[in-house]
Amino acid sequence: MRCPQCGHWNRASFPRCFKCGAVLPKEPAADQKPEAPNAGPAGKIYIQINEEGKATAAMDERDKLAQEMKELVARKQKGEIEQQRLRESGAKQGFAPTGRDVETLTGRTGAPFSQRISRSVNGEPVEGDVRPDAIPVVSTRVIDYDEYGDGPLQTPVKSKGKAKRYKTHRRFGFSRLLRTAALLIIVGVVLGAVYQFIARPILDNRNTEPLQERAIITPSILNDMPSHLVRIPGEEGQSIRIKEMKQSYLVVGGYATFEVPDYRWYEGAESVTQETVMATLTPYLQTGAGEEKPLEKISYEVEIPLSPLTLISPSSTFTEVSTALYQIQFEVAENSTVYIYRGAITEANKEDLSDLVNTRSGSLSLNVSVSAIGNNDITIVTRAQYYRENSMTITLYRAPQQITLNLAADIATRYTPQLVEDQSQPKDAKGNYPMIEPNMTVKGTTVTWANIEVISPYVNLDTTKVAATGEFSFEAVFDHFGDNVIEIHASAPGFETSVVKHTVYYVPVAAIYTRKAWDMDTQYTDYLNNSEKRIANTQIYLCEGTITQILSERPAMAILKLKKSPERTVLITNYSNDTWTVGAEYRIFADAYGLYNGAPWLSGRYTYKVN
């Protein structure tokens, strides 16, 4: 505040002038609010009553806001009036009342502040600015600012009056660079350790396929037995030990290779019936220090082969029989155990034939009693070494009978008669009786009160002993080559007729059969043109050529390429006692049977191999 007496400027809080001691006028209080012109009432008061009947006074917010706006307008108007008064007062007394020039210092300068005191317009200090008894204060530091605005830089003033700056830290000094480098090295070491011991193992495990997938396992044959070839990957020269094999294997060419017999995984079991078994290998990686590092286990599935069991007679597991005694023939592997169950599979029906296996080289025969009750089941159970158990059930069907009718147990199923002299005929010019084929004699038994009737071709039926012993006999006549069915009926009043059918394979002796043969090379077209007639007459042919293909083993069927006409082929079913091989040349006597893919189909009876 300016003194009205001497014009000296004083603080607003001084009650008297600091220079002359005159009483200073009082300024209005800072917190005194000017009254707004035409200020109305503070606002309306609203009384609110809730559900409980309690009254509450409240002011409308809009009224409050309007009141504040009025006060703001009043303060603004008063401020404008005060600013106008100050401007008028200043205009009367002039600016900078001390009479000094205003000087603004910018930029860097080394001149002390005491040397840059502004002077008045006349070049002399203004009286009244400084009291005569005031103590001069000299600053020992020069405050300056750099051009980047980093703040004041103060340097002490030397005794000679020359100012020198204090040393400041360099932004890129050697010590800072050293600390930064050390920090980077520490961070790098920590990150390297994290990668080496944590991240890298995780990434290696993630990117590496399991040993189960990298190992190569393929089926193979070892000592004529099924096995598996196992190849485990590894680094060259490493040694891998297999716990189950009790042996170590060297890695050569990137793999440790070895073979494992399949029977190793089940040979110790007393009874093996499942089709497969899981094999598990436990590998260990052997280090140079003699230590062993366990690797992932390797598993694979092993199929257990069935013990060999081949049925020779009958030709199928279900057959109809007409005799009370039937012979079953089959083959098993040597050193096999063989059990026969007649009927239900129980210990009471069990028969052990294991002692006969090696004495007969695995070929066994069994005579079975067949009752006229329908199905008669015979079960064969065998197990060979290194194989799983195999079983076969053979059903012999014999129709139920009210009248007993049996054929002799020794009745043949294959008939090839030898020529005999027919003494009922006169001798020829050389004095010899003519040679004929004898018929097959069939014998049987029935009840004494039954009537016997033969349905199939026959001669010389004898029933004279039926009434006494039930025996009868006759001679069967076979009218075609191959299978011929003998059928006999036994009947009696009030009873159901019993029927017996017996199949006999008939073929004449080679001397008679072969002399009727036609050459297939020359009669090939005739066979195709007159196939129905040739089949009905079972015409015999000589087929000479080479076996090119075996179509089946049971029954044995093969394609033969004719020797004289290589472009022509025939299909032949082998009913002889010989076995054909592909590439061998044969002379086969066969009779007409049918057509196969536009070529003749014949039944071979006699085979002769051409050397």
My answer on whether 499 and 420 are in the same domain is yes
Residue (of 373, 276, 368) closest to 329 by Cα position:
368
CA 311 to chain centre: 39
Final residue in a domain of this structure, among 303, 329, 362? 303
Percent of the chain topping pLDDT 90: 44
Report the range of poorest mean pLDDT among 51-55, 495-499, 527-531, 591-595.
51-55
Number of structural domains, the chain?
A: 6
pLDDT of residue 559: 95
Q: Is residue 165 part of a domain?
A: no
3-state secondary structure of 265: helix
CA-to-CA dists, residue 452 to 402, 455, 492, 502, angstroms: 14, 10, 9, 16
Task: Give the angle 65-66-68 at the CA atoms, nearest 5°.
Answer: 65
pLDDT at 104 over 50: no
pLDDT of residue 554: 78
Report the range of poorest mean pLDDT among 24-38, 59-73, 137-151.
137-151
Residue (of 534, 515, 460, 450) closest to 489 by Cα position:
450
Q: Is residue 255 part of a domain?
A: yes
As a whole number of Å, the end-to-end CA separation of the chain is 150
My answer on whether 544 and 594 are in the same domain is yes
Q: Is residue 148 part of a domain?
A: no
At 587, list the tokens: 């002379």
Sign of CA dihedral 144, 150, 154, 155: negative
272 pLDDT tier (thresholds 50, 70, 90):
confident
Q: Is residue 274 part of a domain?
A: yes
Calculate the average pLDDT of the chain.
82
Residue (of 234, 231, 293) closest to 259 by Cα position:
231
pLDDT at 7 over 80: yes
My answer on whether 320 and 377 are in the same domain is yes
pLDDT, tens digit (0-9, with 9 covering 90-100), for 327-346: 899 999 998 999 999 989 99
Q: Is residue 390 part of a domain?
A: yes
Between 53 and 15, the higher pLDDT residue:
15
Q: Is residue 314 part of a domain?
A: yes
My answer on whether 502 and 516 are in the same domain is no
Residue with tokens 């005794």: 159
Between 63 and 515, the higher pLDDT residue:
515
Report the range of poorest mean pLDDT among 121-130, 463-472, 491-500.
121-130
Most confident listed range (27-41, 175-189, 245-259, 403-417)? 245-259
Q: Is residue 146 part of a domain?
A: no
My answer on whether 339 and 371 are in the same domain is yes
Report the range of poorest mean pLDDT among 48-57, 65-74, 115-124, 126-135.
115-124
Domain that holds residue 363: 309-400
Final residue in a domain of this structure, among 490, 506, 522? 506
CATH number (domain holding residue 527)? 2.40.50.140
My answer on whether 516 and 485 are in the same domain is no
Between 115 and 288, the higher pLDDT residue:
288
My answer on whether 64 and 84 are in the same domain is yes
pLDDT, tens digit (0-9, with 9 covering 90-100), for 562-572: 999 889 999 99
pLDDT, tens digit (0-9, with 9 covering 90-100), for 601-610: 999 999 999 9
109 pLDDT tier (thresholds 50, 70, 90):
very low
172 pLDDT tier (thresholds 50, 70, 90):
low
Q: Are 300 and 232 in contact (CB under 8 A)?
A: no
Q: Is residue 336 part of a domain?
A: yes
**Partners of 486 in the β-ladder:** 502
Q: What is the mean pLDDT of residues 155-170?
A: 48
pLDDT of residue 177: 85
At 472, list the tokens: 């009868």
From the CB of residue 529, how many other CB atoms can be counted at a distance below 10 Å? 9
pLDDT of residue 57: 74
pLDDT at 165 over 60: no
Q: Are 360 and 344 in contact (CB under 8 A)?
A: no
Q: What is the mean pLDDT of residues 301-312?
A: 92
My answer on whether 492 and 519 are in the same domain is no
SS (H, E, C) 387-428: CECEEEEEEEEECCCCCCEEECCCCCCEECCCCEECCCCCCC
112 pLDDT tier (thresholds 50, 70, 90):
very low
Whether the link from the prior residue into 314 is cis, omega within 30° of 0, is yes
Report the range of poorest mean pLDDT among 146-155, 465-474, 496-505.
146-155
pLDDT, tens digit (0-9, with 9 covering 90-100), for 333-392: 998 999 999 989 999 999 999 998 988 888 998 888 898 889 999 999 999 988 889 999
Whether the link from the prior residue into 555 is cis, omega within 30° of 0, is yes
558 pLDDT tier (thresholds 50, 70, 90):
very high
pLDDT at 393 over 50: yes
My answer on whether 322 and 370 are in the same domain is yes
Report the range of poorest mean pLDDT among 26-40, 68-82, 322-336.
26-40
Residue (of 481, 485, 495, 483) closest to 454 by Cα position:
485
pLDDT at 430 over 90: no
Q: 352-368: buried (b, 16+ CB within 10 Å) or exposed (e) per residue?
A: ebeeebeeeebebebeb
Q: How many whole angstroms separate alpha carbon 560 and alpha carbon 572? A: 7
pLDDT of residue 102: 45
pLDDT of residue 204: 62
My answer on whether 517 and 603 are in the same domain is yes
CATH number (domain holding residue 362)? 2.60.40.10
3-state helix, strand, coil in the chain (%, to 5): 20, 40, 45
pLDDT of residue 148: 41
Torsion of CA 260, 262, 268, 273, to 10 degrees: 160
Final residue in a domain of this structure, among 366, 400, 434? 400
Q: Are 22 and 3 in contact (CB under 8 A)?
A: yes
Percent of the chain topping pLDDT 70: 83
CATH number (domain holding residue 270)? 2.60.40
- Model-level pTM? 0.52
Q: How many whole angstroms separate alpha carbon 380 and alpha carbon 377? A: 10
pLDDT at 156 over 80: no
pLDDT at 207 over 90: no
pLDDT at 189 over 50: yes
